[in-house]
Amino acid sequence: MRRKNLLLLCALAGALSLLATGCQNSAQTEEEIVLPRQEEETGGGEEAPQTEGEKQAAGGGAIADQVQAPERFTWEGGSEQVSVKADALVVIPEGEGFQSYKVTGRVFNQEDYDRVSQVLLKGEKLWERDMEVMGASNGWTAGEIEERIERLKKQKAEAEANGVKPMAFEGGKGKTYDELIAEWESMKENAPEEIIVGEVPVNVEYIESAEDRAENYISGQATVDGKDYFVSLDNNFRDDWKYIAFSVYNDEENSNFSFGASEGDIQSAGISVEEARRKALEDAAAMGFTDMAIDGEEYLTSVSFDEESDSGEAVTDAVGYGFHFTRMLDGIPVTYTHEVGGTMEGQDDVPWIYEEMSLVYTKDGFASFNWRNPYEVEKTSEEYVFLLPFAEIQNVFQEMIVKKYEDFFAESEVKVEFEIDEVRLGYMRVMEKGNTSEAQMVPVWDFFGKETLRYPDMSEPYISDGHYESWLTVNALDGTIIDRGFGY
CA distance 62 to 40: 32
Element (H or E) spanning 304, and its range? strand 292-305
Around 7, how many Cα atoms within 13 Å sit in the side-chain half-sphere?
23
Would you state the pLDDT for residue 158? 85
Judged against a pLDDT cut of 70, whether residue 37 lies above it is answered with: no
pLDDT band at 165 (very low <50, low <70, confident <90, very high): low
Mean pLDDT score, 449-461: 93
Mean pLDDT score, 356-370: 96
Give the pLDDT confidence of 246-297 residue by residue, as tens digits: 999 998 776 778 878 888 889 989 999 999 999 999 999 999 999 999 999 9
What integer best gives the mean pLDDT of the chain?
85
Give residues with Cβ within 8 angstroms of 341, minimum separation 6: 351, 352, 353, 354, 429, 484, 485, 486, 487
Closest CA to 187 of 236, 146, 239, 130: 146
Judged against a pLDDT cut of 50, whether residue 6 lies above it is answered with: no
Would you state the pLDDT for residue 257? 86
Would you state the pLDDT for residue 167? 65
Judged against a pLDDT cut of 50, whether residue 2 lies above it is answered with: no
Q: Looking at per-residue confidence, does 453 or 466 come out higher?
A: 453
Mean pLDDT score, 48-54: 49
Closest CA to 221 of 361, 304, 125: 125
Which residues make beta-bridge pairs with 306?
Answer: 2
pLDDT band at 432 (very low <50, low <70, confident <90, very high): very high
Q: What are the backbone dihedrals phi and psi of residue 297, each rounded to the nearest 5 degrees, phi first?
A: -155, 145
45 SS3 class: coil
Neighbours of 397 (CB within 10 A): 24
Would you state the pLDDT for residue 42? 41
Amino acid at 333: P
Around 355, how many Cα atoms within 13 Å sit in the side-chain half-sphere?
26
CA distance 298 to 278: 15
Contact present, 284 and 250 (Cβ < 8 Å) = no
Interhelix angle 110-120/273-286, rounded to 10 degrees, is 140
The full DSSP string for 172-225 is: TEEEEHHHHHHHHHHHHTT--SS--EEEE-------TT-SSGGGGEEEEEEEET
Across 50-64, 241-255, 340-354, 474-488, least confident range? 50-64
Would you state the pLDDT for residue 305? 63
Show the beta-strand stretches assigned E in 363-484. Answer: 365-372, 375-379, 415-430, 439-454, 462-464, 470-475, 481-482
Alpha carbon 171 to chain centroid, angstroms: 28
pLDDT band at 198 (very low <50, low <70, confident <90, very high): very high
Judged against a pLDDT cut of 60, whether residue 29 lies above it is answered with: no
Judged against a pLDDT cut of 90, whether residue 45 lies above it is answered with: no
Judged against a pLDDT cut of 90, whether residue 5 lies above it is answered with: no
Mean pLDDT score, 398-408: 96
Contact present, 218 and 107 (Cβ < 8 Å) = no
Would you state the pLDDT for residue 307? 54
Judged against a pLDDT cut of 90, whether residue 336 lies above it is answered with: yes
Would you state the pLDDT for residue 46? 45
Contact present, 260 and 217 (Cβ < 8 Å) = no
Contact present, 361 and 374 (Cβ < 8 Å) = no
Contact present, 307 and 170 (Cβ < 8 Å) = no
